[in-house]
Amino acid sequence: MTGFVSFVGSGPGDPELLTLKAVARIGAADAVLFDDLSSGAMLGYARPGADIVAVGKRAGRPSPSQAHVSQLLVDYASTGARVVRLKSGDPGLFGRLEEEIAALRAAGIAFEIVPGVSSASAAAAAAGIPLTRRASARRVQFITGHDVTGDLPDHNLAALADADATTVVFMPKRTFPALVRALLAAGLAADTPALIAENVGHPDQSIVRATIASISEMLERHVSGAPALILYGPLLDEA
């Protein structure tokens, strides 16, 4: 008996940003394995009796290994269960989706991907700005602030220092100062407009507009535990 897994994007945390398909899949599931940022009110759509299992990962906190999460998906689906893997934002953006899909394929378990509102789109919307601008920001690039070891990845600095691109940095806080030093060395101006968005989609969300240099200085002094994105580029210069 083989079940089915739905990878469902929960959006950035606001339950009103769930798609209709996401709500339907959550409501039909026998088990919901959720990320930390996919908790709260949106779990209220699960049916009574469904298994609700926290499998989220947060920097600096105890959390299940990726291998354990992948095995849980296989174990639940192998009983014939309908499983929802509830991922924050969109499942395909820095959500370890590839590893979980690989585990399901190896076990012969069918799955689907239900896209969600990316935290990048939600942050831009909350700030009242577009991610693109016809004359000056015709390209958007999404990057991660750290690799599997927690260090700054080996990025294409020429691309990231492009003054005509909008860049969104996921999981940026601990490595952004190092990234900014590299960007300045690659020719990006220190006064390039930027914003840091924390707890996007939650009642306590915070958006601070500044420059790449001033945000770097702020993070050198203090790094909070709130999840965040940093956006920088020309689309912010009139915000």
pLDDT in tens, 154-199: 889 999 999 999 999 999 999 999 999 999 999 999 999 999 999 9
- Alpha-carbon distance 181 to 213, whole Å? 9
- Alpha-carbon distance 181 to 149, whole Å? 20
3-state helix, strand, coil in the chain (%, to 5): 35, 25, 40
- Higher-confidence residue of 238 and 212: namely 212
Q: H or E segment at 133?
A: none
pLDDT at 235: 67
173 as an active site residue: the answer is: no
Which residue spans within the chain are E strands per DSSP? 4-9, 31-34, 51-54, 82-87, 110-114, 139-144, 165-170, 193-198, 206-211, 228-232
- Alpha-carbon distance 35 to 17, whole Å? 16
Both tokens of residue 76? 């639940």
pLDDT at 19: 96
Neighbours of 75 (CB within 10 A): 13
154 as an active site residue: the answer is: no
- Considering the entire predicted model, what is its pTM? 0.90
- Alpha-carbon distance 218 to 174, whole Å? 11
pLDDT at 63: 73
pLDDT at 239: 43
Q: Do residues 32 and 43 make contact, with C-beta atoms less than 8 angstroms apart? A: yes
What domains lie within the chain, and their CATH numbers?
4-114 (3.40.1010.10), 119-236 (3.30.950.10)
In tens, the pLDDT along 9-39 reads 999 989 999 999 999 999 999 999 999 888 8
Mean pLDDT of 58-69: 75
In tens, the pLDDT along 65-95 reads 889 999 999 999 999 999 999 999 999 999 8
Neighbours of 107 (CB within 10 A): 15
Catalytic residue of the set 35, 90, 162, 173: 35
Catalytic residue of the set 21, 36, 51, 57: 57
Mean pLDDT of 207-223: 95
Backbone angles phi, psi at 204, to 5 degrees: -100, 25
The pLDDT-based confidence of 135 (bands split at 50, 70, 90) is: confident
